[in-house]
Amino acid sequence: GAVVSQHPSWVICKSGTSVKIECRSLDFQATTMFWYRQFPKQSLMLMATSNEGSKATYEQGVEKDKFLINHASLTLSTLTVTSAHPEDSSFYICSVAGNSPLHFGNGTRLTVT
């Protein structure tokens, strides 16, 4: 399966600032990547599907203007949490599609103070 790298592994930011999380596919050309969010002791919830060279597809209830996704190359997708608030504190995980089974990055722990 695809090797997926996320950066940073953890980040702390102040309320109102923006944070960018990177997801890299190291050994697979990824036209599609997925972004998930996981709150403590809960399951993974799909936020959006990142499509290389086109707009991301967001799941119902996920604000596209708040969670900006850019997928400009076949190896990199970025998720920017804009104007972060404490309720955005969560574990963000990406995965690479097209190389079954789906493999995941090691996640980014975001804490908004």
In the complex, which residues of this chain contact another protein (CB under 8 A)?
Answer: 1, 4, 6, 32, 34, 42-46, 49, 93, 97-98, 100-107, 109
18 contacts 80 by C-beta, under 8 angstroms: yes
- Least Cβ distance, residue 102 to another protein (angstroms): 6
- Least Cβ distance, residue 48 to another protein (angstroms): 11
106 contacts 6 by C-beta, under 8 angstroms: yes
CA distance 61 to 24: 26
- Least Cβ distance, residue 35 to another protein (angstroms): 12
Closer Cβ to another protein, 53 or 101, answer by number? 101
Token pair in block for residue 47 = 């936020």
- Least Cβ distance, residue 43 to another protein (angstroms): 5
Closer Cβ to another protein, 54 or 100, answer by number? 100
Closer Cβ to another protein, 76 or 82, answer by number? 76
Token pair in block for residue 72 = 């400009």
Count CB-CB contacts under 10 A for residue 56.
22
CA distance 15 to 56: 25
Closer Cβ to another protein, 20 or 109, answer by number? 109
